[in-house]
């Protein structure tokens, strides 16, 4: 089920580092809304409310609603700046979206079936080569995540980009031809077993010498 995220913001007129510092002291986070056929607008929202949104994975790959002084717009989160040493968000960027214009977004990969995969039951380890993928689609088709079913994987198996099952209207931005088809997840033998095999091979070679 999709989440409905709403950011309540107010317009701000003061620009510059000094104004932003003063704003943060009041518990607000400065941000900007840009894109579309409208001029950029400087805004601010409550830090504690924004932090609550950021706890949800879907917030980063979702069509959001931002209300600025009561007026609502559809946007996506494009950038987020955090304090280097403290758990504070210092700035955020929102981009307007149009229902008729395709957008590019990174969406997370959700891996399912690891507990029943034959290769895992045989002692293998699953390696997530990618954790998200960039897709292009209309806003209405944007998925919160792409599911990757690994339940049938054996030791030595891989799932590539071209094998991902995408919702209707959604395409990957990366090429998936044979030359560029990147692996998404692999299932390999345990590292200990690999090291033992390497050790036995080295011992055999030494014996032959």
Dump pLDDT digits (tens) for 6-57: 999 999 987 778 888 888 899 999 999 999 889 999 999 999 999 999 999 9
Q: What pTM, to 2 d.p., does this model score?
A: 0.82
Domains of the chain: 6-96 (2.40.240.10), 103-196 (2.170.120.20)
Cβ atoms of 44 and 28 closer than 8 Å: yes
Confidence of residue 190 (pLDDT cuts 50, 70, 90): confident
Residue 74, C-beta contacts closer than 8 angstroms, at least 6 positions apart: 63, 64, 65, 96, 97, 99, 139
Q: What angle do CA 93, 164, 75 make, to 5 degrees?
A: 20
Q: In this predicted structure, what is the pLDDT of residue 169?
A: 97
pLDDT per residue as tens digits for the range 94-118: 999 999 999 999 999 999 999 999 9
Q: Rounded mean pLDDT of 127-149?
A: 97
Q: What is the DSSP string of 27-78?
A: TEEEEEEE-TTS--EEEEEEHHHHHHHHTSGGGGGS-EEEEETTEEEEEEEE
Residue 194 clears pLDDT 60, i.e. is over it: no
CA count, 13 A, side-chain hemisphere, 103: 25
Tokens of 201: 């091979």
């Amino acid at each position: 089920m999709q989440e409905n995220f709403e950011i309540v913001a107010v317009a701000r007129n003061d620009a510059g580092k000094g104004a932003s510092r003063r704003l943060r002291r009041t518990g607000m986070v400065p941000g900007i809304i840009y894109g579309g056929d409208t001029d950029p607008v400087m805004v601010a929202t409550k830090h504690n409310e924004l932090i609550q949104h950021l706890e949800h994975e879907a917030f980063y790959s979702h069509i959001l609603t931002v209300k600025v002084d009561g007026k609502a717009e559809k946007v996506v989160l494009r950038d987020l700046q955090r304090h280097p040493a403290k758990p504070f968000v210092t700035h955020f960027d929102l981009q307007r979206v149009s229902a008729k214009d395709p957008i590019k977004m990174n969406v997370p990969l959700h891996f399912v079936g690891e507990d029943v995969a034959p290769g895992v039951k045989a002692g293998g380890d699953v390696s997530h080569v990618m954790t998200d993928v960039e897709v292009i689609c209309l806003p209405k088709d944007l998925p919160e995540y792409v599911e990757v079913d690994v339940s049938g994987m054996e030791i030595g198996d891989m799932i590539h980009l071209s094998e991902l099952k995408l919702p209707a209207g959604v395409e990957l931005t990366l090429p998936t031809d044979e030359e560029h088809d990147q692996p998404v997840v692999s299932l390999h033998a345990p590292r200990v077993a690999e090291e033992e095999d390497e050790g036995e091979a080295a011992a055999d070679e030494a014996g032959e010498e």
